[in-house]
Every structure is written in C-alpha cells, then in structure tokens.
Structure 1
Amino acid sequence: MASVLAALSSCLLPVTVQAADAPQKLTTAVDQAVRPLLKQYDVPGIVLGVTVNGRQHFFAYGVASKEKQTPPTKDTLFEIGSVSKTFAATVASYALTLGKLSLEDHPSKYMPALQGKPIDKATVLNFGTYTAGGLPLQFPGPVKNDRDMIAYFQQWQPSAAPGTQRRYSNPSLGLFGHLAALAMKRDYAQIMETDVFPKLGLNHTYVRVPQAAMADYAWGYNKANKPIRANPGVFDSETYGVRISAADLIRFVEANIRPDTLEPSMRRAVEGTHIGYFKTGDMVQGLGWEQYAYPVTLDRLLAGNSEAMIQQPNATTQFGAPQTPSGPTLFNKTGSTNGFGAYALFVPAKKIGLVMLANKNFPIPARVTAAYAVLEALDAAAQ
C-alpha cells in the first residue's frame, strides 16, 4: 500500500511554476500537455522550460527521487541522452572555427590505425551526419574500451557508399566528437567543461558530475521502476553523457536562437551547427540538430523522430552546397538513457524554444506530441 501511495503522490504533486508571471494560456497548455504523461507512462518527474522573446518560464511536476520524494526544479540535473550530440556537434564546430578540423578530413588523419580501411573513405562530415555508410545504432557488446573501438572500426564493412544513406548511430556521431577532440589534442570532456560550457554560460552542466552537485542529480527510473543512472561506455561523453538542468538547457537553446550574444568563436561554432548538409524525407540533417521548414505539421515532426528514422537506414540526398536556412526553421533533437528522456526544440525566427526533461524514458512520439502542443502556445505568445 505504501508503494502505491508513493506512486500516486508523485503524479499528484502540484505543478511548481518557477516563473510566476507565465501567461495563463501558456501555463494551461503546459499543464494539459504534461500531466497526462506522468499518469499514462508512470513518469516520476518532468521539468519543462520555455523561452519566448528572451523570457524564460519553468514548470516542474512530480519528483526527482521517488525514494526521497524530492520535487524537481529548474536546477535539477537530468541525463539528456542523445541531446548530448548537439553539444558534440558544437565541440566539432568549435574545432572547425579554430581551424583545427575540416569536415573534409578522413579519420586516419587523426587515427592512423584506420589508414586504408573502408571506414577511412568516409569524412568527418559523414560521421557528423550519420552518412558514413551504415554504422549501427550502437557498438556491439564486446566493444568496451578505446582499443576495442579501434579494432571495431578497422574491421567494419559499409553497407552503402558514404553520403547515400542516413543511419542514426552512436558510433558515427561519437567518432565525430572523438576526432574533433583529437584534432584539438585535448580530452573531449575537458574541452566541454573548460571551454564550451563556460563560453555558453552554462554553470550547472557536466559530463562528470562533481560531488558538490550530486544532490541536484535526479534519479532515473527504468521499465521496472528501479532507480538507475547512465553507465560509462565508449563515446559516452560524446553521445549520451551530458547532465544538465532545465535552466542551463534553455540557456543553451537561447544561445542557439541568438548566437550573436556569444563571444565570436562560440558564435561561429553555434552558427555552424545550423547549416544543413543532407535531406531525408522532410528533415534536413545538420551537425547535431535536425531541421524542418517552419511551420511544420505534427505528422512531419513525428515522422522525422520515428522509430524508422532511428532504427533503420534511410536513403538521403546531399545538398550540392551546405544550406543555411533561408526561412523560418525548427531545430530539434530527442534523447534517452535507460532512466531518462529529453527533448529540445527552438525556432530562431520566432524567438521561441522548449526543453523537456524527464526521469523516465517514455515514448518519443508522446514527447513530441506534448511539446508540439506547447509550441503552438509559444508561437501564439510570440505574436
């Protein structure tokens, strides 16, 4: 009985509005979108942050820890899974800005052990856009360390020519970030924590959570509702390893909406992640972020974030020249670990953005649908 009451209490905790001046229509839209998620998918806690014309509002539901019944806030740390890839893209774009890396480079320039191997036919751009030729979603189980990673890439055989097939892949994007760090001759996590996070104004974001911040780190919950946090793995920092608060993630979104507010090198780095290189269906693939002409229908957004796009190879077409968005564009990225689910999106032309952080990995279509409902309210508020 006690466990039943605890579960019920986590779903019935009142919303905590961190910004009391949020418009009533927006508050209602968020409430109607988020509350059903907690109940339907047994999500312990969700924090949703929005930005409209530079004004931030935060809404928190449920608990950050079922055991302690701690309510989440805008400063609670969540795992964001593959939303971390947008940070890896920023690192790589930063290396491009500094002249340390080129998208036309091949991996053997930085990893000589790959010289002459099939994977060396792909470029840095291919790894950053999942178009190397069929790298899988995850490394095989036996790949446990950097030595195993190199051996895997040495024996890997492509299923398509580079640039003809998009196959969403942690090994692909992970290698992208890894090559950027090798080009800069520095540890990837160090680049993030000493250069990128500070230049973006992120003061409560970590690859390696320090002991002083552990009290803010939410517990995630797996399918059996057992508390869990992400385990280390090859390319974990690059592909799923960022822990961040809603306050910092919305700040990152705002930096993407207004890169001109950043110092020059980071401004160019962020702008570099907004360039499109490949088109798959209605989605344009940039570095990290996925793009759609705005306004976009919910069906198109769902299709771009579907299981087919994540789990299967899809034919893709490379633009003749890299494309800077010519009109209003929505950028988005989903992310999950075994115990957390996240989603981030923004529309620079409208100066609106949204982040959703949850301590359970609930279905992506439900996240996208809920966020889309809030997006419509944000669009209306931005008029």
Structure 2
Amino acid sequence: MFITKKIAAPLALAAATTCLSSIAVLADDAPEAIAAAVDAAFQPLLEEHDVPGLAVGVTIGGQHYFFNYGLAAKDTKAPVSENTLFELGSVSKTFTATLGASAVVIGGMSLADHPSKYMPELEGKGVDKATLLNLATYTAGGLPLQFPDAPGMEAYFQQWTPDAAPGEQRRYSNPSIGLFGYLGARALDGDFTDLMEKAIIPGLGLTSTYMRVPEEAMDNYAWGYNRDGKPTRVNPGWLAAEAYGVKSSTADMLRFIDANIAPETLEPELRQAVEGTHIGYFRVGEMVQGLGWEQYPFPVSLERLLAGNAATMAMEPNPATELTPPVSPTEPTLYNKTGSTNGFGAYVAFVPEEKIGVVMLANKNFPIPARITATHAVLEALAGEWAKRAE
C-alpha cells in the first residue's frame, strides 16, 4: 500500500529508535494504595452498569500496572487482559490530532490554512470560511455531532451552511475533526489510514493498535455489547477512521500516554507533533480545547472534570474564547479524552508533570460520569503515591 515518503522516512525511524519499549511493565505488584484505589473505583462498575469487561491501565513514573475485570466476549468466556483490543471511539481523535500536527511539522501545512487549499472543491463554500484550526477544535461554526443524511462526504461539506462565525462557539463534531484529519493526510500526500498504520502508530512505539484489525489479531478483539446486550462492533461511515476508528489495548495505550508524558523519547519530528497537541487554543467553560486533548489545571476537582465532560459539552454548542496567543501549559495540566462507540466506552487522562496517567477501556458504552468519577479517584491516589516517591 502507498505511503508518502514525506512522512514515512522520519516517523518510521522513530519506530525503530524510540526508547518507550524499554520502560518496565509490571502487572501484579502494584502498590497497595494504587491497587485498592483501582479496585474500589472500577470493579463496582461492572455490576452497576452491566459491563461485561473492563481493562484499566495505570502509569506512574514509567511503571505500568494492569487491572482486568470480566470478559472480552460472553460467548467464549475469554477474559479481559492488557492485550485485549477495544474500540477507542473518540479517543481516536487524539491520534488524528497527532497526524494533523505531523502534517504541520513535516508537510508544510498551517493551522491557519483553509480547507480548499487541500480540497479545492470546497473553495467558496461555507466550510471554507473556517481554518484547519477551527475544524480541529470544533469551532468551524456549527458542524453537527454526526453526519446527517447526504449523498456523500464531499457533497455534504459543499452544501453545509454555518450558523455561527468561525471561532465563536465549540460544537463537538465528528465531521469537523474528521475533515481535519482527512485534509492533514492530503497535505502529506497520503491516505489517512495508511499514514496512521505505517507512520504514526509505529512511530509512537505502539504494537497492538490498529485502524484495521489484522486477521492474526482478531482473537484479541473484544466484542462490544449494546444496550440490549447484543454483540456489536463499529460500523464504517464517512470519516469514521479519522473520528473514531482506532482499536487498541491498555498495554499500548499506556505506551501512548507515556509518549505524551515524555515526548522527548520520540524522534524530533514526532516529538514536535505530540507537543503540538498539548497547546491550548480555545477556552470553553472550565476546559481548554487543544488538538484532540482537552485540558484542565491539575489538581482538578471532580466537579470541574465532570462539567467539562458533561453531555451539554458534547451535544450542544458552547461559547468559545480564542486564546491569543495559544497557550503552552507551564503549570501542571491534566489532559483527557472520552470515547464511545455503540458497544464500547473509553477514557484516558494523564498529567505529564506528575508522570501519572490512567486508561480505561470497556466493552460497553456506559455513562461517562461514572468513568470520570472512577478515574479521578485513581488519579488522586496516583498523585499521592508519586508525591511519596519524590520525598
């Protein structure tokens, strides 16, 4: 399959030289306080929300701990493990942001560019009033959460009419960041999925993360379960790969978190791209929107974290204030992202300055507030443990 030389050379080198693979991975000897916090926060969720399987990964100072609960598939009774593949849903957007940031570093793309520079058929259309930054931060002017019925992806963007000026409001949108990823791949003269599979994912040192799960990995691919308890997996749609198409394990997601905690372990081009996803561009209520990741000062209260991840933030337009200049965090900052498909639920949160992070993957889309509450409790325990180690 084709992949552009423009990005393949530097990022393929990163895959060969990254030191992430040297980080010790521990499974059964977590400190008592961490193990107790994870069990108390997450184990009850299986019964409370009828979740078949749940995998939790914790990183602290580069050490990894795994906590696995329940089943990856009801029919086979296969247990969840740190190698079980789950659909990440919108956590995939953080990978899309990394590819887009790579296009800025390597491909000469600017976040100030307009879509028609890479998709001429959009010239003069409503969406072309927005910049690529607006697309990446859901501030293009009212693109909806999902694609409505339309004859095609290009036709939809050609006929779409904004209901707000670019930058005035944040309206969480798969078409918005999906188009950003699509155009980023065009800027790199490549196909989005190919670039992800052959450059971004291996460049990050990931070995069990996929856009398209290969046959040899299908036994590790969990079944998701819908509200009726029926097995399901994600259905393809327009820009699905860009918006919600990644599948991964807790083992790999901790490597991804570590790459974000310590991007200096990556090759220079990919390091710049990852660091680019940590810049804040818009303030929306109590949250700062970056590329893919959403940011909060740390420590952060549970109430503030719940508000920033509330249904109103995902389902309704919210006033946005552009940060001029954009903000590179100088104080401890929590980065997070939720994700869901019809049969899966995910949540990732980490604090680089504290060298801590948590990933939670489940094969049921259960309520986001429950995910946030459990993860917040574990992050507090991790912060306490890290403070003790630093003494």
Give the TM-score of the pair, scaled to structure 2: 0.92
Residues 107 and 187 of structure 2 are in contact (CA less than 8 Å); yes or no, is this contact kept in structure 1? no
Q: Is residue 2:135 matched to residue 1:108?
A: no
RMSD: 1.0
1:33 aligns with 2:34: no
SS at match of 2:163: coil
- Indicate if the aligned counterparts of 2:107 and 2:188 stay in contact, CA closer than 8 A: no
Secondary structure of the equivalent of 2:299? Answer: coil
- Structure 2 counterparts to residues 71-150 of structure 1, below 5 A: 71-142=79-150, 148-150=152-154
Structure 1 Cα separation of the partners of residues 149 and 258 of structure 2: 38
Amino acid in structure 2 at the alignment position of 1:195: A
Other-structure match for 1:358: 362
Name 2:348's counterpart in structure 1.
344
SS at match of 2:339: strand
Identity %: 61
The residue identity in structure 1 corresponding to 2:210 is Y
Hey, what does 1:368 align to over in structure 2? 372
Tell me how far 1:21 sits from its aligned partner.
1.5
Task: Structure 1: state its 5+ residue gaps.
Answer: 1-16
1:293 maps to which of 294, 297, 315: 297
Q: 1:151-162 alignment to 2 at 5 Å?
A: 151-162=155-166
Residue 318 (structure 2) pairs with residue 314 (structure 1):
yes
CA offsets, 1:248-307, max 9 Å, x none?
001000000000011111100100000000000110000000000111100000000000
Q: CA deviation at 1:36?
A: 1.2
Unpaired stretches in structure 2, ≥5 consecutive residues:
1-24
Q: Which whole-Å deviations, capped at 9, do the CAs of 1:297-333 have from their partners, x for residues lacking one?
A: 0000000000000000000100111110020000000
Provide the residue aligned with 1:54 in structure 2.
Answer: 62
- By how many angstroms is 1:99 displaced? 3.6
Partner residue of 2:13? none
Q: Which residue of 1 is the match for residue 76 of structure 2?
A: 68
- Conservation of the 8 A alpha-carbon contact between 2:26 and 2:63: no
Instruction: Give a deviation string over 1:132-176, Cα, whole Å, max 9, x none.
Output: 000000000345xxxx11111111111110001000000000001
In 2, Cα distance between the equivalents of 1:333 and 1:141?
A: 27
> Is the 1:63–1:70 contact (alpha carbons within 8 Å) kept by the matching residues of 2?
yes
Cα contact 2:250–2:359 (8 A) shared by 1: yes
Equivalences for residues 226-305 of structure 1 within 5 A? 226-305=230-309
* Counterpart secondary structure, 2:376: helix
1:18 offset after TM fit, Å? Answer: 6.4
Give the AA of the match of 1:48. Answer: V
User: Aligned partners of 2:98 and 2:292: how far apart in 1?
Assistant: 8
Whichever residue aligns with residue 362 of structure 2, its letter is A
Q: Secondary structure at the match of 2:153?
A: helix
How many angstroms apart in 2 are the aligned matches of 1:177 and 1:376? 34
Amino acid at match of 1:25: A
Corresponding letter in the other structure for 2:372: V
Distance 1:342 1:164 in 2: 29
Task: Indicate conservation of the 8 Å contact 2:257/2:357, yes or no.
Answer: yes
Give the structure 2 partner of residue 215 of structure 1.
219
Number of residue-to-residue matches in the alignment: 363
Between the aligned partners of 2:273 and 2:197, the Cα distance in structure 1 is 16
Q: TM-score, normalised by structure 1?
A: 0.94
Q: CA deviation at 1:101?
A: 1.1
The answer as to whether partners of 1:18 and 1:59 remain within 8 angstroms in 2 is no
Q: Within 1, Cα distance between the matches of 2:257 and 2:38?
A: 18
Letter paired with 1:83:
V
